[in-house]
Chain A
Amino acid sequence: MTTVVLADDEALLRKALAALLPLEGEITVLAEAEDGRAAVRATLRHRPDVLVIDLEMPGVDGLEAVAEIRRALPEQVILMLTRHARPGVLRKALRLGVQGFVSKSAEPAHIVSVITTLHEGRRWIDPDVSALAIVDDCPLTDRELDVLRATGEGYSAADIATRLHLAEGTVRNYLSNAMQKTQTRTRHEAARYAREHDWL
Protein backbone atom coordinates (compact mmCIF):
# COMPACT_ATOMS: atom_id res chain seq x y z
CA MET A 1 0.00 0.00 0.00
CA THR A 2 1.29 3.43 -0.99
CA THR A 3 -0.15 6.70 0.30
CA VAL A 4 -0.12 9.80 -1.89
CA VAL A 5 -1.03 13.47 -1.91
CA LEU A 6 -2.20 14.76 -5.32
CA ALA A 7 -1.48 18.35 -6.29
CA ASP A 8 -2.82 19.75 -9.57
CA ASP A 9 -4.69 22.97 -10.33
CA GLU A 10 -6.75 21.24 -13.02
CA ALA A 11 -9.70 19.89 -11.01
CA LEU A 12 -10.83 17.42 -13.67
CA LEU A 13 -7.44 15.78 -13.99
CA ARG A 14 -6.80 15.78 -10.23
CA LYS A 15 -10.17 14.26 -9.40
CA ALA A 16 -9.85 11.73 -12.21
CA LEU A 17 -6.46 10.61 -10.82
CA ALA A 18 -7.86 10.55 -7.26
CA ALA A 19 -10.63 8.22 -8.47
CA LEU A 20 -8.51 6.08 -10.83
CA LEU A 21 -5.24 5.50 -8.95
CA PRO A 22 -6.88 3.44 -6.13
CA LEU A 23 -8.65 1.33 -8.78
CA GLU A 24 -5.44 0.67 -10.74
CA GLY A 25 -3.26 -0.32 -7.81
CA GLU A 26 -2.62 -0.37 -4.07
CA ILE A 27 -2.84 3.40 -3.67
CA THR A 28 -4.56 5.50 -1.02
CA VAL A 29 -5.07 9.21 -1.72
CA LEU A 30 -4.67 11.06 1.60
CA ALA A 31 -5.41 14.56 0.30
CA GLU A 32 -5.76 16.72 -2.81
CA ALA A 33 -4.26 20.17 -3.33
CA GLU A 34 -5.31 22.72 -5.95
CA ASP A 35 -2.13 24.84 -5.98
CA GLY A 36 1.49 24.86 -4.84
CA ARG A 37 0.80 26.44 -1.47
CA ALA A 38 -1.90 23.88 -0.66
CA ALA A 39 0.49 21.14 -1.83
CA VAL A 40 3.08 22.23 0.75
CA ARG A 41 0.47 22.34 3.54
CA ALA A 42 -1.07 18.95 2.64
CA THR A 43 2.32 17.22 2.33
CA LEU A 44 3.61 18.51 5.67
CA ARG A 45 0.36 17.56 7.36
CA HIS A 46 -0.28 14.11 5.83
CA ARG A 47 3.31 12.91 5.21
CA PRO A 48 2.43 10.76 2.16
CA ASP A 49 4.78 8.05 0.86
CA VAL A 50 4.77 9.87 -2.47
CA LEU A 51 3.75 13.41 -3.41
CA VAL A 52 2.35 13.54 -6.96
CA ILE A 53 2.59 17.13 -8.12
CA ASP A 54 1.92 19.05 -11.32
CA LEU A 55 4.83 21.14 -12.57
CA GLU A 56 2.77 23.94 -14.10
CA MET A 57 0.50 25.58 -11.55
CA PRO A 58 -0.44 29.23 -11.03
CA GLY A 59 1.03 31.13 -8.05
CA VAL A 60 3.55 28.88 -6.29
CA ASP A 61 4.43 26.42 -9.09
CA GLY A 62 5.47 22.80 -8.73
CA LEU A 63 9.23 23.47 -8.50
CA GLU A 64 8.84 26.17 -5.83
CA ALA A 65 6.52 23.94 -3.80
CA VAL A 66 8.99 21.04 -4.09
CA ALA A 67 11.86 23.26 -2.92
CA GLU A 68 9.87 24.29 0.16
CA ILE A 69 8.77 20.73 0.96
CA ARG A 70 12.35 19.45 0.60
CA ARG A 71 13.57 21.96 3.17
CA ALA A 72 11.09 20.61 5.74
CA LEU A 73 11.11 16.96 4.65
CA PRO A 74 14.44 16.15 2.95
CA GLU A 75 13.45 12.51 2.41
CA GLN A 76 10.08 13.19 0.81
CA VAL A 77 9.58 11.08 -2.35
CA ILE A 78 8.19 13.19 -5.19
CA LEU A 79 6.71 12.38 -8.61
CA MET A 80 6.34 15.32 -10.95
CA LEU A 81 3.75 15.39 -13.71
CA THR A 82 4.30 17.62 -16.71
CA ARG A 83 2.52 18.55 -19.90
CA HIS A 84 5.37 20.28 -21.73
CA ALA A 85 8.48 20.79 -19.63
CA ARG A 86 10.54 23.82 -20.64
CA PRO A 87 14.28 23.38 -21.19
CA GLY A 88 16.16 23.14 -17.92
CA VAL A 89 13.15 22.06 -15.86
CA LEU A 90 14.11 18.39 -15.56
CA ARG A 91 17.62 19.40 -14.50
CA LYS A 92 16.25 21.74 -11.81
CA ALA A 93 13.77 19.11 -10.60
CA LEU A 94 16.49 16.43 -10.34
CA ARG A 95 18.70 18.84 -8.43
CA LEU A 96 15.83 19.43 -5.98
CA GLY A 97 15.71 15.67 -5.45
CA VAL A 98 12.61 14.81 -7.47
CA GLN A 99 12.79 11.05 -8.15
CA GLY A 100 10.16 10.74 -10.87
CA PHE A 101 9.09 12.65 -13.95
CA VAL A 102 6.07 11.49 -15.98
CA SER A 103 4.13 13.01 -18.87
CA LYS A 104 0.50 13.93 -18.24
CA SER A 105 -0.40 12.02 -21.37
CA ALA A 106 0.52 8.76 -19.57
CA GLU A 107 -2.04 6.04 -18.82
CA PRO A 108 -3.20 5.92 -15.17
CA ALA A 109 -1.79 2.37 -14.91
CA HIS A 110 1.65 3.70 -15.89
CA ILE A 111 1.43 6.45 -13.26
CA VAL A 112 0.53 3.81 -10.65
CA SER A 113 3.54 1.67 -11.60
CA VAL A 114 5.84 4.70 -11.39
CA ILE A 115 4.45 5.65 -7.95
CA THR A 116 5.21 2.09 -6.79
CA THR A 117 8.71 2.19 -8.32
CA LEU A 118 9.48 5.46 -6.52
CA HIS A 119 8.10 4.13 -3.23
CA GLU A 120 10.57 1.21 -3.56
CA GLY A 121 13.37 3.76 -3.56
CA ARG A 122 14.08 3.79 -7.27
CA ARG A 123 13.94 6.56 -9.84
CA TRP A 124 11.85 6.88 -13.00
CA ILE A 125 11.96 9.43 -15.80
CA ASP A 126 9.86 8.95 -18.91
CA PRO A 127 12.33 8.45 -21.80
CA ASP A 128 10.80 11.15 -23.99
CA VAL A 129 11.18 13.66 -21.16
CA SER A 130 14.89 12.95 -20.65
CA ALA A 131 15.68 12.75 -24.38
CA LEU A 132 14.00 16.12 -24.88
CA ALA A 133 15.95 17.61 -21.98
CA ILE A 134 19.23 16.63 -23.65
CA VAL A 135 18.17 18.01 -27.02
CA ASP A 136 16.58 21.23 -25.75
CA ASP A 137 18.60 22.44 -22.80
CA CYS A 138 21.20 25.20 -22.94
CA PRO A 139 24.67 23.74 -22.26
CA LEU A 140 26.27 27.10 -21.50
CA THR A 141 26.78 28.56 -18.03
CA ASP A 142 25.51 32.05 -17.09
CA ARG A 143 29.03 33.47 -17.39
CA GLU A 144 29.58 31.89 -20.81
CA LEU A 145 26.29 33.45 -21.94
CA ASP A 146 27.40 36.84 -20.55
CA VAL A 147 30.60 36.88 -22.61
CA LEU A 148 28.79 35.70 -25.76
CA ARG A 149 26.15 38.41 -25.32
CA ALA A 150 28.90 41.05 -25.12
CA THR A 151 30.67 39.45 -28.09
CA GLY A 152 27.45 39.75 -30.09
CA GLU A 153 27.36 43.45 -29.21
CA GLY A 154 30.78 43.82 -30.81
CA TYR A 155 33.02 44.10 -27.73
CA SER A 156 36.55 42.71 -27.73
CA ALA A 157 37.76 40.26 -25.09
CA ALA A 158 39.54 43.14 -23.31
CA ASP A 159 36.37 45.30 -23.36
CA ILE A 160 34.31 42.38 -22.04
CA ALA A 161 36.80 41.87 -19.21
CA THR A 162 36.45 45.52 -18.18
CA ARG A 163 32.66 45.52 -18.46
CA LEU A 164 32.16 42.29 -16.49
CA HIS A 165 34.95 43.02 -13.97
CA LEU A 166 36.86 39.89 -14.93
CA ALA A 167 40.46 39.17 -15.89
CA GLU A 168 40.95 39.02 -19.65
CA GLY A 169 42.32 35.48 -19.35
CA THR A 170 39.11 34.45 -17.56
CA VAL A 171 37.03 35.93 -20.37
CA ARG A 172 39.12 34.03 -22.92
CA ASN A 173 38.53 30.81 -20.95
CA TYR A 174 34.75 31.36 -20.97
CA LEU A 175 34.83 32.09 -24.70
CA SER A 176 36.93 29.00 -25.35
CA ASN A 177 34.53 26.81 -23.30
CA ALA A 178 31.57 28.26 -25.19
CA MET A 179 33.26 27.58 -28.53
CA GLN A 180 34.03 24.01 -27.50
CA LYS A 181 30.46 23.32 -26.36
CA THR A 182 28.99 24.78 -29.54
CA GLN A 183 31.65 23.25 -31.79
CA THR A 184 32.40 26.62 -33.35
CA ARG A 185 35.77 28.04 -34.37
CA THR A 186 35.44 31.70 -33.43
CA ARG A 187 33.72 33.56 -30.61
CA HIS A 188 31.51 35.31 -33.17
CA GLU A 189 30.31 31.96 -34.51
CA ALA A 190 29.67 30.84 -30.94
CA ALA A 191 27.66 34.00 -30.23
CA ARG A 192 25.62 33.44 -33.40
CA TYR A 193 25.01 29.79 -32.46
CA ALA A 194 23.74 30.86 -29.02
CA ARG A 195 21.55 33.59 -30.51
CA GLU A 196 20.05 31.17 -33.06
CA HIS A 197 19.13 28.82 -30.21
CA ASP A 198 17.50 31.65 -28.21
CA TRP A 199 19.93 31.32 -25.31
CA LEU A 200 21.00 34.95 -25.12
Chain B
Amino acid sequence: MRLNLSAELENAKNLSEAAGIRVRVDREAEVDAHTGELLGQVLRETTTNILRHAQAGQVRVTLTESGITIVNDGAGEGPPPELRGLATLGERVADGGGELRVEQQDGRFLTAAAFPRGRSETAPRSGKGRR
Protein backbone atom coordinates (compact mmCIF):
# COMPACT_ATOMS: atom_id res chain seq x y z
CA MET B 1 0.00 0.00 0.00
CA ARG B 2 1.31 3.45 -0.98
CA LEU B 3 2.62 5.76 1.71
CA ASN B 4 1.58 9.40 1.62
CA LEU B 5 4.06 12.26 1.19
CA SER B 6 4.16 13.03 4.89
CA ALA B 7 5.22 9.48 5.80
CA GLU B 8 7.78 9.39 2.99
CA LEU B 9 9.20 12.71 4.16
CA GLU B 10 9.64 11.26 7.63
CA ASN B 11 11.29 8.10 6.23
CA ALA B 12 13.66 10.14 4.04
CA LYS B 13 14.58 12.24 7.09
CA ASN B 14 15.20 9.16 9.27
CA LEU B 15 17.30 7.52 6.54
CA SER B 16 19.45 10.62 6.00
CA GLU B 17 19.91 11.11 9.74
CA ALA B 18 21.01 7.48 10.06
CA ALA B 19 23.76 8.34 7.55
CA GLY B 20 24.88 11.24 9.77
CA ILE B 21 23.21 13.97 7.71
CA ARG B 22 21.29 16.66 9.58
CA VAL B 23 17.85 17.29 8.13
CA ARG B 24 15.56 20.23 8.61
CA VAL B 25 12.00 20.03 7.30
CA ASP B 26 9.80 23.09 6.87
CA ARG B 27 6.20 22.31 6.01
CA GLU B 28 4.48 25.49 5.02
CA ALA B 29 1.41 23.83 3.52
CA GLU B 30 -0.17 20.53 2.56
CA VAL B 31 -0.48 19.47 -1.06
CA ASP B 32 -3.19 17.51 -2.85
CA ALA B 33 -2.73 13.75 -3.36
CA HIS B 34 -1.78 13.89 -7.05
CA THR B 35 0.88 16.58 -6.55
CA GLY B 36 1.97 14.68 -3.43
CA GLU B 37 2.71 11.60 -5.52
CA LEU B 38 4.96 13.59 -7.89
CA LEU B 39 6.67 15.41 -5.03
CA GLY B 40 7.24 12.01 -3.39
CA GLN B 41 9.12 10.90 -6.51
CA VAL B 42 11.26 14.05 -6.39
CA LEU B 43 11.95 13.40 -2.69
CA ARG B 44 12.94 9.74 -3.30
CA GLU B 45 15.22 10.54 -6.23
CA THR B 46 16.89 13.44 -4.43
CA THR B 47 17.39 11.51 -1.19
CA THR B 48 18.91 8.69 -3.21
CA ASN B 49 21.30 11.16 -4.88
CA ILE B 50 22.25 12.71 -1.57
CA LEU B 51 22.91 9.33 0.06
CA ARG B 52 24.84 8.07 -2.95
CA HIS B 53 26.90 10.93 -4.22
CA ALA B 54 26.99 13.84 -1.89
CA GLN B 55 29.05 14.09 1.25
CA ALA B 56 26.27 16.17 2.70
CA GLY B 57 26.30 17.34 6.28
CA GLN B 58 23.02 19.17 6.11
CA VAL B 59 19.85 18.95 4.08
CA ARG B 60 16.92 21.33 4.14
CA VAL B 61 13.54 20.33 2.78
CA THR B 62 10.82 22.94 2.27
CA LEU B 63 7.31 21.92 1.36
CA THR B 64 4.90 24.59 0.15
CA GLU B 65 1.47 24.34 -1.45
CA SER B 66 3.06 24.68 -4.88
CA GLY B 67 6.05 22.38 -4.54
CA ILE B 68 9.12 21.05 -2.80
CA THR B 69 12.67 22.42 -2.49
CA ILE B 70 15.58 20.30 -1.31
CA VAL B 71 18.99 21.89 -0.70
CA ASN B 72 22.08 20.05 0.50
CA ASP B 73 25.56 21.32 1.25
CA GLY B 74 27.48 18.30 -0.06
CA ALA B 75 27.82 19.11 -3.74
CA GLY B 76 31.58 19.72 -3.63
CA GLU B 77 33.60 21.43 -6.34
CA GLY B 78 33.63 18.74 -9.01
CA PRO B 79 31.26 18.28 -11.91
CA PRO B 80 27.60 17.74 -11.03
CA PRO B 81 26.61 14.16 -10.25
CA GLU B 82 25.15 11.97 -12.92
CA LEU B 83 21.66 13.32 -13.43
CA ARG B 84 19.95 10.76 -15.61
CA GLY B 85 17.46 9.91 -12.86
CA LEU B 86 16.63 13.57 -12.40
CA ALA B 87 16.20 14.08 -16.17
CA THR B 88 13.56 11.33 -16.29
CA LEU B 89 11.94 12.85 -13.24
CA GLY B 90 11.91 16.28 -14.91
CA GLU B 91 9.85 14.85 -17.77
CA ARG B 92 7.36 13.32 -15.34
CA VAL B 93 7.02 16.57 -13.42
CA ALA B 94 6.50 18.44 -16.71
CA ASP B 95 3.81 15.91 -17.70
CA GLY B 96 2.10 16.78 -14.42
CA GLY B 97 2.10 20.49 -15.30
CA GLY B 98 5.10 21.45 -13.19
CA GLU B 99 8.76 22.33 -13.54
CA LEU B 100 11.86 20.68 -12.07
CA ARG B 101 14.88 22.88 -11.39
CA VAL B 102 18.33 21.48 -10.53
CA GLU B 103 21.19 23.81 -9.61
CA GLN B 104 24.69 23.42 -8.25
CA GLN B 105 26.44 26.46 -6.82
CA ASP B 106 29.00 27.22 -4.10
CA GLY B 107 29.05 23.63 -2.85
CA ARG B 108 25.28 23.53 -2.54
CA PHE B 109 22.98 21.34 -4.59
CA LEU B 110 19.38 22.37 -5.09
CA THR B 111 16.47 20.38 -6.46
CA ALA B 112 13.11 22.13 -6.71
CA ALA B 113 9.82 20.99 -8.18
CA ALA B 114 7.13 23.64 -8.59
CA PHE B 115 3.53 23.28 -9.63
CA PRO B 116 1.70 26.54 -10.30
CA ARG B 117 -1.40 26.57 -8.09
CA GLY B 118 -4.34 24.60 -9.39
CA ARG B 119 -2.63 23.47 -12.58
CA SER B 120 -1.71 20.02 -11.32
CA GLU B 121 -5.43 19.33 -10.76
CA THR B 122 -6.33 19.97 -14.37
CA ALA B 123 -3.21 18.54 -16.02
CA PRO B 124 -3.70 15.23 -17.84
CA ARG B 125 -2.54 12.33 -15.71
CA SER B 126 0.25 10.20 -17.05
CA GLY B 127 -0.88 6.64 -17.72
CA LYS B 128 2.35 5.28 -16.31
CA GLY B 129 1.65 6.00 -12.67
CA ARG B 130 2.59 3.64 -9.86
CA ARG B 131 0.28 0.76 -9.29
Interface residues of A (CB under 8 A from B): 90-92, 94-95, 122-125, 127, 130-131, 133-135, 137, 139, 180-183, 196-197
Closest to A96 in B: B18
B52 at the interface (CB under 8 A from A): yes
Contact present for A197 and B3 (CB under 8 Å): yes
Q: A135 touching B3 by the CB < 8 A rule?
A: yes
Q: B7 at the A/B interface (Cβ < 8 Å)?
A: yes
Cβ-based interface call for B23 (8 A): no
Chain A residues, CB < 8 A from B15: 90-91, 94, 130, 133-134, 137
Extra pairs beyond A122-B55, A181-B6 (14, CB < 8 Å): A94-B15, A94-B20, A125-B51, A127-B52, A127-B85, A130-B51, A130-B52, A131-B48, A133-B15, A135-B8, A135-B44, A180-B6, A182-B6, A197-B1
Instruction: Name B's A-contacting residues (CB within 8 A).
Output: 1-8, 10-12, 14-15, 18-20, 30, 43-45, 47-48, 51-52, 55, 85
- A123 — which chain B residues lie within 8 A by C-beta? 19, 51-52, 55
In the complex the two chains form, is A181's CB within 8 Å of B44's CB? no
How many Å from the CB of B50 to the closest CB on chain A? 9
Most buried by B among A90, A130, A131: A130
For B8, the chain A residues whose CB sits under 8 A away are 134-135, 139
CB-based nearest A residue for B10: A139
Question: Which of A92, A122, A180, A182 lies in contact with B18, CB distance below 8 A?
Answer: A92
A127-B19 in contact given A181-B7, A181-B10 (Cβ < 8 Å):
no
Contacts of A180 in B (CB 8 A): 6
Q: Which of A127, A130, A137, A182 meets B14, CB within 8 Å?
A: A137
Q: Judging by beta carbons under 8 Å apart, are A139 and B52 in contact?
A: no
- B52 touching A125, Cβ below 8 Å: yes
Residue of B nearest to A130 (CB): B48
The reply to whether B5 and A183 contact each other, CB–CB distance below 8 Å, is: yes
Q: Which 9 A-B residue pairings sit nearest by Cβ, starting from the closest?
A: A139-B10, A94-B18, A95-B18, A137-B11, A94-B19, A130-B48, A139-B7, A183-B6, A91-B18
Q: Is the beta-carbon distance between A130 and B4 smaller than 8 angstroms?
A: no
